[in-house]
């Protein structure tokens, strides 16, 4: 039977080669071998960070990152099962809710951000797409979120990000949550204009900003 180092190296290799099925199988193998879920998540995080740096240098394409992310997402089911069985806990960086704003049904960018946040220790709840400002706030209140992330992948849906910020301010909740916005057409200038707390041009920067907003950088 392979030892911990061999299983860890296998998982790294599957992630680096964007082997979606192989990633899930490698994560399950580590869990079945009794390897700590914390250690498994650490291997995932460090390898995804590596791919993120390559992505920033345009040495890895978005579709490849998506494949790796999908494999990790599938594999997290096995990690969650292992956590339930062992009672082990993973230290959380913070609680994040994330969705694509109302009028927009795109999800690829959103899913990538969530995967990077999740493998960095954030507790992430995906609200899906076409999410109304009211729903963002209701879910943030219900889950005790630290950060509300709102993606807009079309210029026509960007105004809903502004509506969300305005709604939160009108509710007197501006000091309770950090608001992050992102998406293809979204810029730092837009984030500043609407009063958002943070912005990221891609999943890597979004993770960095989330950590900065919570003083975890």
What's the CATH code of the domain at 33? 1.10.1240.10
Other C-beta atoms lying within 10 Å of the C-beta of residue 10? 18
Domain termination residue (choose one: 86, 108, 123)? 86
Distance (Å, whole) CA 138 – CA 180:
17
Q: What is the DSSP string of the chain?
A: ---HHHHHHHHHHHHHTT-HHHHHHHHHHHHHTT--HHHHHHHHHHHHHHHHHHHHTTSS-HHHHHHHHHHHHHHHHHHHHHHHHH---PPP-EEEEEEEETT----HHHHHHHHHHHTTTEEEEEEEEEE-HHHHHHHHHHHT-SEEEEE--SGGGHHHHHHHHHHHHHTT-TTT-EEEEE-TT--HHHHHHHT-SEEESSHHHHHHHHHHHTT--
- Could you tell me if 63 and 113 lie in one domain? no
- Could you tell me if 60 and 82 lie in one domain? yes
For residue range 139-179, what is the model confidence (pLDDT) as tens digits?
A: 999 999 999 999 999 999 999 999 999 999 999 999 999 99
pLDDT value for 172: 94
Q: Sign of the CA dihedral 170, 175, 111, 32?
A: negative
- Could you tell me if 81 and 99 lie in one domain? no
For residue range 41-93, what is the model confidence (pLDDT) as tens digits?
A: 889 988 988 988 888 888 988 889 889 988 998 998 999 898 888 888 777 88
Domain termination residue (choose one: 19, 54, 86)? 86
CATH number of the domain to which 140 belongs: 3.40.50.280
- Could you tell me if 78 and 100 lie in one domain? no
- Could you tell me if 60 and 108 lie in one domain? no
- Could you tell me if 175 and 192 lie in one domain? yes
- Could you tell me if 108 and 208 lie in one domain? yes
For residue range 7-42, what is the model confidence (pLDDT) as tens digits?
A: 999 999 999 999 999 999 999 999 999 999 889 988
147-151, strands of its sheet edge to edge: 122-131, 94-101, 147-151, 178-182, 198-200
Distance (Å, whole) CA 8 – CA 209:
28
End-to-end CA distance of the chain: 38
Q: Which domain holds residue 174?
A: 94-213
- Could you tell me if 103 and 36 lie in one domain? no
Domain termination residue (choose one: 57, 86, 115)? 86
- Could you tell me if 18 and 110 lie in one domain? no
- Could you tell me if 107 and 125 lie in one domain? yes
- Could you tell me if 154 and 69 lie in one domain? no
Q: For the chain, what is the domain count?
A: 2
Per the structure block, which two tokens stand in for 146?
């630290």
For residue range 175-194, what is the model confidence (pLDDT) as tens digits?
A: 999 999 999 899 999 999 99
- Could you tell me if 68 and 144 lie in one domain? no
């Amino acid at each position: 039977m392979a030892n911990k180092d061999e299983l860890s190296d296998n998982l790294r290799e599957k992630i680096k080669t964007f082997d979606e099925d192989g990633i899930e199988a490698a994560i399950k193998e580590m869990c079945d071998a009794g390897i700590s879920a914390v250690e498994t998540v650490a291997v995932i995080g460090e390898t995804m960070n590596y791919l993120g740096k390559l992505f920033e240098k345009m040495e890895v394409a978005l579709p490849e990152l998506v494949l790796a992310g999908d494999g990790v997402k599938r594999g997290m089911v096995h990690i969650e099962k292992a956590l339930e069985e062992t009672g082990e806990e993973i230290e959380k960086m913070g609680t994040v809710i994330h969705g694509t704003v109302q009028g927009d049904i795109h999800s690829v960018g959103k899913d990538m951000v969530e995967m990077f946040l999740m493998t960095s220790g954030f507790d992430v709840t995906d609200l899906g797409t076409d999410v109304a400002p009211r729903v963002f706030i209701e879910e943030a209140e219900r889950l005790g979120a630290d950060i509300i992330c709102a993606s807009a992948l079309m210029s026509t849906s960007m105004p809903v990000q502004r509506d969300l910020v305005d709604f939160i301010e009108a509710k007197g909740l501006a000091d309770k949550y950090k608001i992050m916005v992102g998406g293809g057409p979204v810029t730092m200038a837009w984030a500043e204009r609407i009063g958002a707390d943070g912005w990221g041009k891609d999943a890597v920067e979004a993770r960095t900003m989330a950590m900065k907003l919570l003083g975890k950088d």
